[in-house]
Amino acid sequence: MVAISVLIALAAGVYVVWELYRRFVIDIYDDDAVTVPYIPLITYPDITKLNKRVETELGYLRKHNKTVVRFVNIFNPNDRTIIAADTELMREMFVGKDWQRWDRDHDKLTKARVFAGGLILMHNDEKWRAAREIFGRTFTTVAVKQYWPILKSNLDIFMDVIAKKNASSPDGFNIQEYFFKYTFDVISRLTFGEDINCLKGGENEKYIHAWEQLLDLSGQAIAMDIALGPSNGTWLSDAIGLKAKIDGHTQTLHEMVKRNQERRAKGIDLDRYSIFDDTMNSGKLPDFMDDAEMTKQLMTFLFAGHDTTASLLSFLAGCLATRPDYQVKIRAEVNEALAGGEQSLDKIEGLKYLNAAIKETLRLYPAAPHGAQRKVNEDWDVSWNDASGQRRLLRLKAGDFVPLGVYHGHHLASNYKNRDPARMDAWDPDVFLNDLNGGGNNTFSHVPFGGGPRKCLGEKLSLHETRLVITEILKNYWIAPAEKWTLDIHQPGMLTPANVMVRLYPL
């Protein structure tokens, strides 16, 4: 009887504590977000796997039929993460009258500064505006098309390398590895005017190795900060040696920056064609753009211009490998557009099947599933009309961490009035053929590059690279899944397939 009484008392105590917690922590918001008690290491049992995290978050949204979810740390109610996946709310965040109140550089992203401390994480202030103005002209449509010789020369190397690899790999090979080397060679050449040539192997492969390790380890450290809070996350990442490893890889990558800064200081090759040299020669550098700030910006370009495009190419090749019918459609329009002539960006820019395949791949697998996360600096009530016209409310508190629900929004049926709700997780590129929004409720249903004044500068470059590489492959090969086919996601910092095992059959 005593044991039963103790159990009853414990159960009653737990119930009372839960009711108090629910009443004074969960229910105080009284808004249209589903509020979920967040238990570190339990709500997200595997915090270092990004795909598991976004699927957990998406699961809560689908379960409660909501487009916004708020996670409240059960041990620290001031630790709140809000996943915003409503397309109309995204409109407010991107281009609404209060878009500047959605700030950047939350404490939980401190570890991201080593690779994204430039434009991506800068606050919405005058420094960001000045930097955006300086670098924005580098990524206009006209500027990107001038990069054609660089894209094409690296593409020729890429095609030669994969031809040899394919010939020596009868059981197939991981084409993702070569996409990553290609995009790294391209963006390092564009950034510094320096040919790293990772595709050719050799000593310079240390840079892409350092980059991959930097993102992998930093992604783990960031995940710990998000799950455990910055203080506890920092303690844990330091305890297991992550910081020392991250610092070492960062130093290796900074060699490229320092080498080119020293080159310019010595007056060598000042008219080299690169983002760095073009910016330095502009004569418009603001006072804050010293060597340290320039290093942050250049590292950010490597991040934004390399991993996103490599991820897109990898997933797109993987999707096409299992859809030979779509390869036929794209190959036919490529052959018609080129008519036996040479490749050019203008000729392939408007190919409808290719662009539909790219857009659908970006919908299913946005490289940055949380976009560029926002920071809330003040208590603030946000209201908007959802897709049905119903008024919605979100109560924000100072310190809220607000990752954009890019992946989540792309997979929610409520954001896509003209899609089959049962096929939200399927690759259906035809939906984009006659609908620029891919069946979405508005233009913010599809936001793999963000939107508004802070939209990704590298969007045009990424899309041009992708069109160029995929059309060249399809001109020459059938893509087929290898025997060890997989499209699993592995990287903690970006959505990236673990490998894309394919066999290429020459035409």
Which one, of 151, 212, 176, 119, lies nearest residue 461 by Cα? 151
| pLDDT at position 19 over 70 | no
* Position 40 confidence tier, pLDDT thresholds 50, 70, 90: confident
Residue reference for tokens 């418009």? 284
Residue reference for tokens 């949204």? 61
Q: How many angstroms separate the CA atoms of 61 and 407, rounded? A: 12
User: Which residue ranges make up the annotated binding site?
Assistant: 456
Give the DSSP per-residue string, 145-206. HTTHHHHHHHHHHHHHHHHHHHHT-TT-EEHHHHHHHHHHHHHHHHHHS----GGG-STTHH
Q: How many angstroms separate the CA atoms of 414 and 88, rounded? A: 11
How many domains, in total, are found in the chain?
A: 2
Residue range 27-47: average pLDDT?
Answer: 77
Residues 19 and 114 in one domain: no
Residues 18 and 57 in one domain: no
3-state secondary structure of 448: coil
Residues 345 and 278 in one domain: yes
Which one, of 19, 58, 43, lies nearest residue 410 by Cα? 58
- CB-hemisphere CA count at 13 Å for 342? 5
Residue of higher predicted confidence among 496 and 298? 298
Residue pair 111/492 in contact (Cβ under 8 Å)? The answer is no
User: Which residue ranges make up the annotated binding site for heme?
Assistant: 456
Residues 157 and 211 in one domain: yes
Mean pLDDT of the chain: 88
Percent of the chain residues past pLDDT 90, beyond the cut: 55
Residues 2 and 101 in one domain: no
Residues 343 and 385 in one domain: yes
Residue range 307-316: average pLDDT?
Answer: 93
Q: How many angstroms separate the CA atoms of 456 and 461, rounded? A: 10
CB atoms within 10 A of CB 57: 24
Residues 15 and 144 in one domain: no
Hey, which residues does 382 pair with through a beta bridge?
Answer: 394
Residue pair 39/72 in contact (Cβ under 8 Å)? The answer is no
Residue of higher predicted confidence among 278 and 478? 478
* CATH classification of the domain holding 355: 1.10.630.10
Residues 131 and 13 in one domain: no
Residue pair 467/345 in contact (Cβ under 8 Å)? The answer is yes
Residues 38 and 161 in one domain: yes
Residues 114 and 140 in one domain: yes
pLDDT, tens only, 83-128: 999 999 999 999 999 999 999 988 888 888 988 999 999 999 999 9
Residues 278 and 344 in one domain: yes
Backbone angles phi, psi at 81, to 5 degrees: -125, 125
- CB-hemisphere CA count at 13 Å for 352? 9
Q: Please tell me the total number of residues recorded for the chain in this structure.
A: 507
E strands present in 17-164 = 34-38, 68-73, 76-84, 102-103
pLDDT score for 48: 62
Residue pair 217/246 in contact (Cβ under 8 Å)? The answer is yes
Give the DSSP per-residue string, 304-353. HHHHHHHHHHHHHHHHHHT-HHHHHHHHHHHHHHHTTS---HHHHTT-HH
Residues 163 and 133 in one domain: yes
Q: How many angstroms separate the CA atoms of 63 and 244, rounded? A: 41
* Position 9 confidence tier, pLDDT thresholds 50, 70, 90: low
Element holding 393 (H helix, E strand): strand 391-396
pLDDT score for 473: 97
- Token duo for residue 490: 């592995």
Question: In this structure, which amino acid lies at residue 264?
Answer: R
Where in the sequence is the domain holding 59, given as residue range(s)? Answer: 31-506
